[in-house]
Chains A and B, each alone.
Chain A
Amino acid sequence: MSLEVRPIFSALLRNRTGAVLVALQIAIALAVLANAVFIVEQRIQMVGRPTGIDDDNLFAVDTSGFGAHFDFDSSVKEDLAYLRSLSGVVAASPIDHTPLSGGGSATEVTTRPGQTTGYTALNYFEMDEQGLKTLGAHLLQGRNFRPEEINAPYAQDRSDAFVPQVIITRAVAQALFPGQNALGKVIYNKVGRPATVIGVIEDMLGSWPTIPEAPQLVAIFPRLPRYFGFVYLVRTQPGQRDAIMRTVEEHLAASNPDRVVRSAKTLTSMKRIVYLNDRNMAIFLATVTVLLVAITSLGIFGLATFNVSTRTKQIGTRRAVGARRGDIMRYFMVENGLITTAGVVVGCALALAVGYWLSQNYSLPRLDLYYLVGGILGLWIIGQLAVWQPARRAARVSPSVATRTV
């Protein structure tokens, strides 16, 4: 089977402009498609990755005691007893900030005290003995906090003063103690205070899921939070979250005149807010890319249809001198294939240049070549599909057309 590439090519050269325009569209489409899909894929992965906590059944109530008569200790005791007495509540714990909320605390730790460098920043939470159960965190090694280990809030200072125990995520264990068992090891803060690792939990996302540094570097200290945030985190049975949240919000707002409820939010809503920009970026990129490919293929289709109708006479002549339907059909398919190939070659260079530029200027990762290959194949198939129908119409042109004048 001869592909008749040479005559098609020379015919194309004689009528360059249209072909060049289509090739140019395909080149830009490839550059956009490969890079956009690459970025969208990363965002989808980030937004969809497991949080490591039972975020579907969690809500957080942010309260502030403000009155002169506000008694922190008795109020916390009372509130926790109330929360834990509610049917449908799995567990509840105070926490300084809520995971996935975009607000939190971090401290720098090391395994060798007294150094000036080599510290690792950990996003930490202060919780009580129901902390792990409330989060729904999965304990891999070691044990949970005991009630007697929960420290009173620190006085109003910011020394990050450690408490003797800490529970860390697997990511922290790997970062601080690579290749070793972290259990029983000691970590130190900047002023050299020690904390012993008593438990290792499966990775969970901390306060800032979208930071480029690992958001799973999380530690939990057995201490009541107070000055730098105080929130009740409550985990419920599936399906009961919203109703319990409303009850709790009303109760806490009314039970103590020296305390206000700032907000009561589900972790589902916090997760939505924290990923809002990334989700929107993905939606916008995907929409524009789909439209771009659609416009390009419709353009190819429109142009091919038009060409078929203007070339009716030539097609008829070719058919009259012996070309079969398949030959005519193949002519248009091969012509489109040639144009797409030219566009794709230019597009590859363009896509790589755009990818490189993005990685240099916008701290995005380098374009993965799989996306380029996928884009090339995709555009090839779309191109062939777009000329399919016009080519079939061309093939149906009767040879008798050649004998008539238009």
Chain B
Amino acid sequence: MLTYYLRLALKGFRRAPGLTALMVCAIGLGIAACVMVLTVYHAKSGNPIWWKNDRLYALTMDSWDPTKPYDTRHPSLPPPQMTYKDAMYLHSSKIPERSVVMFKALGVLSGAPAQRKPEPVMARLTTADFFAMFDVPFLYGGGWQAADDSAPGPQIVISRKENDKLFAGANSVGRTIRWNDREFRIVGVLNNWNPLPKFYDLNNGAFDASEDVYIPFGWGAALQLVSAGNNNGWKAEEIKSHRDFLNSETVWLQMWVELPDSAAVQRMQIFLDSYWTEQHKAGRFPRPRNNRLTDVSGWLAANDVVGNDDRVLVGLAFAFLAVCLINTVGLLLAKFLNGASIAGVRRALGASQREIFTQHLVEVGALAVAGALLGLALSTLGLWALRVLFDDSDSMWGASGLPQLIRIDVTSIAATLALAILAALAAGLYPAWRAGRLPPAVYLKSQ
């Protein structure tokens, strides 16, 4: 039966090739637009550490200006980073299973045996829990001990990319290298690790690459390093030395804690609030109490990783799909009702209403399949175009990871399939139903 219906459908298409082409194009274009925006949206809205979403919390406190919020577009949010003194005090708490305070800094690597010239790198100055907390994979070796954080030891962890470049991929653990002309011993080499979005530090670009090297946090104070990320201050305070800076109200450190269960979250919140109250009494924290523990997905949302433009584009693409489908409904309806005489003959020869309906639905299904195939081809092409459009490899900060995320994946293909079925049902049901309900007699008379 199905092959017969398909033959009828093909005949139908051949009777109106222009109309058929228009309908296939409409469905294909509508699907392609949706798949493209959904792929970008999906790439941007991913949670790269979803398996620890209920354990990892960004810690923020509102230490900002009494006269205005940190971000006037999100007045309810505290600054996304911490002051040095608050981060250091909270880091000493034993409530979290793990706790990380960190920032990134510019630096230069030199002194590797085969290295011809010094190489500028981005370093992350972090406390020891970073690697275990964010499930950072090691190729060789591991991180350092918490004891090496404050009285910093000369340990350095390098990325796989740096290890490939400087040591041709060999196990370099135990080798020494110079960072900012100071000797460090390699204790670990990371495996490939580039979480996107870069949830643990969204400050300068949500899709920035992760850092090239990692060194103990204490080097920041010891070498008076300046953060290469954002440093934001609000208070009128004289800062004449690095010590003054560390004691200032400048927010510049990222802080995360790992809390195993809701009881721990509660204890941490109480600890934060009591610290706030104590400091508030002493004249700090002039704004209303706003201490937050934000899980990863909440953190990505609060930091607008998925932007307004992305949401507008999803709306636009679905409006476009809607127009394409309405278009197809109109054309199908006209086509089916025009072919009523044939349906009338079939009805008169004994085909049931249901069979006529099914036959027309098969025709719609064939259209939808053609549309979906076209849609898939167009979205592959479109995503390639988007990768070219989003190519930022020329950026002085280095290429972001976004273009490499914009590609056909299982999600895109699933979306194409789902949209094609939706398109067939939305565009085909009513015309097919109308075709099935045609009274046969009328169309037989004039023949």
* A405 contact from B118, B333, B446, Cβ within 8 A: B446
**Given the complex, which residues of B lie within 8 Å of A21, measured CB to CB?**
326-327, 329-330, 333
Task: Check if B330 sits within 8 Å of A157, measured CB to CB.
Answer: no
On chain A, the residues within 8 Å of B118 by CB distance are: 66, 257, 260
Which of A27-35, A78-86, A87-95, A321-329 makes up part of the contact surface?
A: A27-35
- Complex: A262 Cα to B245 Cα, angstroms: 26
Kindly state whether residue A177 has any CB partner on chain B within 8 Å: no
* B146 part of interface (Cβ distance < 8 Å): no
Chain B residues with Cβ below 8 Å from A18 are 330, 333-334
A-side contacts of B324, CB under 8 Å: 295
Do residues A303 and B331 form an inter-chain contact, with CB atoms below 8 A?
Answer: yes
Chain A residues near B313 (CB-CB < 8 A): 281, 284-285
- Contact pattern, B 19-31, Cβ under 8 Å of A = 1, otherwise 0: 1001001100100
Which residues 251-278 in A have Cβ within 8 Å of B in the complex?
Answer: 253, 257-258, 260-263, 265, 269-270, 272-273, 276-277
Cβ < 8 Å to B, chain A residues 103-125: 103, 116-117
Q: Kindly specify which of B95-103, B162-170, B387-395 makes contact with the partner chain.
A: B387-395
Is A382 engaged at the interface, CB distance under 8 Å to the other chain?
no
Name the distance in Å between A348's Cβ and chain B's nearest Cβ: 16
In the complex, which of the residues B110, B181, B242 contacts A156, with contact meaning CB atoms closer than 8 Å?
A: B242
Nearest B residue (CB) for A157: B239
Contact (Cβ within 8 A) B235 A288: no
Minimum CB distance partner of A31 in chain B: B319
> By the criterion CB–CB under 8 Å, are A288 and B316 in contact?
yes
Q: Which B286-305 residues have a C-beta within 8 angstroms of A?
A: none
Cβ of A291 and Cβ of B240 under 8 Å apart? no
A24 touches B106 (CB 8 A): no
CA distance A284 to B32 in the complex (A): 12
Residue B1 interfacial (CB < 8 Å): no
* Count of chain A residues with a beta carbon within 8 Å of a chain B beta carbon: 75
B309 at the interface (CB under 8 A from A): yes
**How far apart are B235's CB and chain A's nearest CB, in angstroms?**
7
> Of A262, A279, A405, which contacts B106 at CB under 8 A?
A262
**Structural contact, A299 and B330, CB atoms closer than 8 A:** yes
Name the one of B66, B226, B323, B394 contacting A227, with C-beta atoms under 8 angstroms.
B226
Tell me the bound Cα distance from A117 to B66 in angstroms: 10
A145-153, A217-225, A330-338, A356-364: which lies at the B interface?
A: A356-364
A306 in contact with B390 given A32-B320, A291-B29, A405-B446 (CB within 8 Å): no
Residues of A within 8 A of B307 (CB): 277
Q: Mark A24-59, 1 if CB is under 8 A from B, else 0.
A: 110011011000100100000000000000000000
A306 pairs with B26, CB closer than 8 A: no
Q: Which of A124-173 contact B (CB under 8 A)?
A: 155-159
Q: Is the CB of A277 within 8 A of B233?
A: no
Q: Does A207 contact B (CB under 8 A)?
A: no
Contact (A157, B244) CB under 8 Å given A262-B120, A295-B29: yes
- A residues within 8 A CB of B239? 157-159
A257–B108 alpha-carbon span in the complex (Å): 12
Q: Which residues of A contact B338 (CB under 8 A)?
A: 306, 309-310
Instruction: Point out the residues of chain A lying under 8 angstroms from B119, CB to CB.
Output: 260
Q: Is B87 an interface residue (CB 8 A)?
A: no
Whether B245 lies near A157 (C-beta < 8 A) is yes
State in angstroms the CA–CA spacing of A277 and B316 once bound together.
17
Interface string of A284-311 (1 = CB under 8 A from B): 1100100110011011001101110110
A-side contacts of B308, CB under 8 Å: 361-364
Contact, CB under 8 Å: A303 / B316: no
Q: Do the beta carbons of A157 and B242 come within 8 Å of each other?
A: yes
Cβ contact within 8 Å between B309 and A277: yes
B242 → chain A closest CB, angstroms: 6
Pair B330/A303 contact, Cβ less than 8 Å: yes
Report whether B237 and A191 are in contact in the complex, using a CB–CB cutoff of 8 Å: yes
Using A295-B29, A299-B330 as known contacts, say yes or no to A253 and B117 having CB atoms under 8 A apart. yes
Contact of A198 with B by CB under 8 A:
no
**Taking the complex as formed, is A9 at the interface, i.e. its CB lies under 8 A from any CB of chain B?**
no
A22 at the interface (CB under 8 A from B): yes
Mark each residue of chain B from 209 to 238: 1 if its CB lies under 8 Å from any CB of chain A, else 0: 000000000000000101000010101111
Per-residue 0/1 for A1-34: is the Cβ within 8 Å of any B Cβ (1 yes, 0 no)? 0000000000000000110011011001101100
Kindly state whether residue B46 has any CB partner on chain A within 8 Å: no
Query: What is the CB-to-nearest-CB distance from A71 to chain B, in angstroms, rounded to a whole number?
Result: 13
- Chain B, range 302-344, C-beta contacts under 8 Å to A: 307-309, 311-313, 316-317, 319-320, 322-324, 326-327, 329-331, 333-335, 338
| Nearest CB of chain A from residue B110's CB, rounded to whole Å | 8
- Smallest CB-CB separation from B329: which chain A residue? A21
A192 lies within 8 A of B392 (CB): no
Scoring B residues 241 to 259 as 1 if CB is less than 8 Å from chain A, else 0, what string do you get?
Answer: 1101100101000000000
Residue of B nearest to A277 (CB): B309
Given the known A-B contacts A28-B322, A288-B317, A310-B338, are A299 and B331 also in contact in the complex, defined by CB atoms under 8 Å?
yes
8 Å CB contact of A62 from B236, B390, B396? B396
Beta-carbon nearest neighbor of A226 in chain B: B226
* A72 interface residue (CB < 8 Å to B): no
Could you tell me the distance in whole angstroms from the C-beta of B111 to the nearest C-beta in chain A?
11
A362 touches B312 (CB 8 A): yes
How far does the alpha carbon of A372 sit from the alpha carbon of B67 in the complex, in Å? Answer: 40
B434 and chain A: residue at smallest CB distance: A17
A243 CB-CB contact with B under 8 Å: no
Q: Does A381 belong to the interface (CB within 8 Å)?
A: no
Q: Is the CB of B26 within 8 A of A295?
A: yes
B331's partner among A265, A302, A310 (CB-CB below 8 A) is A302
Q: Does A184 have its Cβ within 8 Å of any Cβ on chain B? A: no
Is A276 in contact with B390, judged by CB distance below 8 angstroms? yes
Are A302 and B238 also in contact (CB < 8 A) when A260-B108, A262-B120 are? no
Q: Which residues of B contact A155 (CB under 8 A)?
A: 240-241
Q: Which of B38-93 contact A (CB under 8 A)?
A: 66-67, 73
Contacts of A192 in B (CB 8 A): 236
For the complex with contacts A292-B319, A306-B16, 17 further pairs of A-B residues with Cβ separation under 8 Å are: A21-B327, A21-B329, A25-B323, A28-B319, A32-B320, A66-B118, A98-B396, A156-B224, A156-B241, A159-B239, A191-B237, A262-B120, A273-B396, A279-B389, A295-B26, A302-B22, A358-B312
Provide 11 A-B residue pairs closer than 8 Å at the C-beta atoms, listed in order of the A residue: A17-B330, A101-B396, A156-B241, A158-B233, A270-B396, A272-B394, A280-B390, A284-B313, A298-B22, A302-B18, A364-B308
The 5 closest A-B pairs by CB, nearest first: A190-B236, A66-B108, A299-B327, A21-B330, A362-B308
B interface, CB within 8 angstroms of A:
16, 18-19, 22, 25-26, 29, 33, 66-67, 73, 106-108, 110, 117-120, 180-181, 224, 226, 231, 233, 235-242, 244-245, 248, 250, 307-309, 311-313, 316-317, 319-320, 322-324, 326-327, 329-331, 333-335, 338, 386, 389-390, 392, 394-397, 434, 446
